[in-house]
């Protein structure tokens, strides 16, 4: 396949690097309004710099859109207006605001239009006799493959977490960064927290019953509350088997038509994000009655701390005996998984797992959080 990267900034460089390593890629093309930057990225990754967007679109089957967020709408609109059938992976967030995202979705050739419902956050590809749908009778897309790059959805620890948890009582996810010069106008919610919003809404628990949020433009703490008896079904993950080595009774506990259901009992889910930290933090902490699960998105390490079987006091000191189990995670760069799957969807004419509607849903939720803060 011939692929392109639009934008030669930090994310564009990463996409170009990964594409250059994928066997499916025959030729790699780079475009940026900064011709020098495009040339440097192309040279470093054995690619070809193009002098215009039209030139790039005339040569590629699929592109990654990695320009700054304020330009997502205009560049994506230009791609769809060219009507050359190019498949597009748009870096998160899908657009700078939900209004632009709705309009962009309506411009995707052959794609069902957004109906304006703020509850949108699922996969709205459907197969029917209705002309306003994105999938034909053979199960293939009518128009281009369009996805949104919520990269943490493809972190291998998410797959393992979905197989392990069964009755979460408390959840906390932290995503803290040092200040960065690349941030241009987006709040910390749209810039960082949106990764974990996507994980919670689409991979783990679904929509909460209510939220509370506090913070500033650069720091945010969010509490998502799930009421007792609110059984939530996670996104479908076909063919997964519960991990081996976990102590008795857990195998197959979540399996129901290739999906997983977690009973929640007034479960609070806390997200925190910051651009003022002195060190980078990407962690998830889940407590259940029998164990505590701790994971690190960067190191892709996951540990289960089983409930102590022995508590004792010796010499006025408190001791407990824990069993700590390290989960065997098949480590792989999430971006490589994401881009490989994007090209596979492009080849097979199938929807990308993170749909434009899900990207819109994440953005709507982020905007709601910002309204609560303000």
Q: Where are the domains of the chain?
A: 2-150+336-355, 152-333+369-373
Does residue 285 have a pLDDT over 60? yes
| Pair of tokens at residue 298 | 């960067």
Does residue 136 have a pLDDT over 60? no
Does residue 158 have a pLDDT over 50? yes
Q: What CATH topology corresponds to 2-150+336-355?
A: Rossmann fold (3.40.50)
Does residue 277 have a pLDDT over 70? yes
**Cα first-last separation, the chain:** 46
Name the least confident of 193-207, 233-247, 273-287: 233-247
Residue among 302, 298, 303 nearest 280 (CA): 298
Q: Give the separation between CA 209 and CA 211, rounded to whole angstroms.
A: 7
| Pair of tokens at residue 125 | 């590809």
Does residue 190 have a pLDDT over 90? yes
Mean pLDDT, residues 271-298: 97
Q: Give the separation between CA 288 and CA 275, rounded to whole angstroms.
A: 30
- Compute the mean pLDDT over every residue in the chain, rounded to the nearest whole number: 85
Does residue 6 have a pLDDT over 60? yes
- Per the model's pLDDT, the better-predicted residue between 311 and 243 turns out to be 311
Predicted TM-score of the model (pTM): 0.84
Q: What CATH topology corresponds to 152-333+369-373?
A: Dihydrodipicolinate Reductase; domain 2 (3.30.360)
Q: What is the pLDDT of residue 139?
A: 62
Does residue 149 have a pLDDT over 90? yes
Q: What is the pLDDT of residue 80?
A: 96
Residue among 169, 148, 203, 211 nearest 307 (CA): 169
How many other C-beta atoms lie within 10 A of the C-beta of residue 38? Answer: 26
Q: For residue 133, what pLDDT band results from cuts at 50, 70 and 90?
A: low
């Amino acid at each position: 396949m011939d692929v392109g990267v639009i934008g030669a900034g930090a994310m564009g460089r990463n996409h170009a690097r990964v594409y250059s390593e994928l066997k499916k890629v025959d030729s790699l093309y780079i475009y940026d309004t900064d011709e020098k930057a495009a040339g440097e990225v192309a040279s470093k990754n054995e690619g070809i710099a193009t002098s215009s967007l039209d030139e790039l679109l005339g040569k590629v089957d699929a592109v990654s859109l990695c320009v700054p967020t304020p330009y997502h709408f205009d560049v994506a609109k230009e791609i769809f207006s060219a009507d050359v059938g190019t498949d597009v992976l748009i870096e998160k967030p899908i657009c700078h605001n939900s209004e632009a995202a709705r309009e962009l979705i309506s411009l995707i050739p052959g794609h069902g239009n957004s109906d304006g419902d703020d509850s949108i956050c699922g996969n709205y590809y459907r197969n029917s006799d209705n002309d306003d749908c994105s999938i034909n009778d053979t199960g293939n897309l009518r128009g281009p493959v369009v996805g949104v790059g919520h990269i943490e959805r493809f972190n291998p620890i998410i797959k393992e977490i979905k197989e392990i948890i069964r009755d979460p009582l408390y959840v906390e996810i932290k995503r803290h960064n040092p200040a960065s010069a690349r941030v241009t106008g987006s709040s910390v919610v749209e810039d960082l927290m949106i990764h974990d919003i996507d994980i919670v809404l689409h991979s783990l628990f679904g929509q909460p019953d209510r939220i509370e949020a506090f913070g500033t433009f650069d720091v945010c703490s969010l509490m998502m509350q799930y009421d007792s008896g609110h059984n939530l079904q996670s996104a479908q993950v076909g063919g997964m088997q519960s991990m081996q080595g976990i102590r008795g009774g857990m195998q197959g506990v979540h399996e129901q038509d290739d999906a997983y259901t977690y009973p929640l009992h007034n479960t609070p889910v806390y997200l925190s994000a910051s651009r003022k930290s002195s060190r980078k933090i990407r962690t998830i902490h889940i407590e259940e009655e029998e164990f505590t699960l701790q994971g690190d998105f960067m190191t892709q390490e996951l540990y289960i701390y089983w409930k102590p079987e022995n508590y004792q006091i010796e010499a006025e000191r408190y001791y407990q005996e824990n069993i700590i189990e390290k989960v065997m995670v098949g480590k792989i760069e999430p971006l490589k998984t994401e881009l490989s799957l994007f090209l596979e969807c492009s080849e097979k004419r199938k929807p990308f797992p993170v749909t434009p509607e899900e990207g819109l849903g994440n953005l709507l939720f982020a905007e709601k959080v910002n309204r609560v803060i303000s």
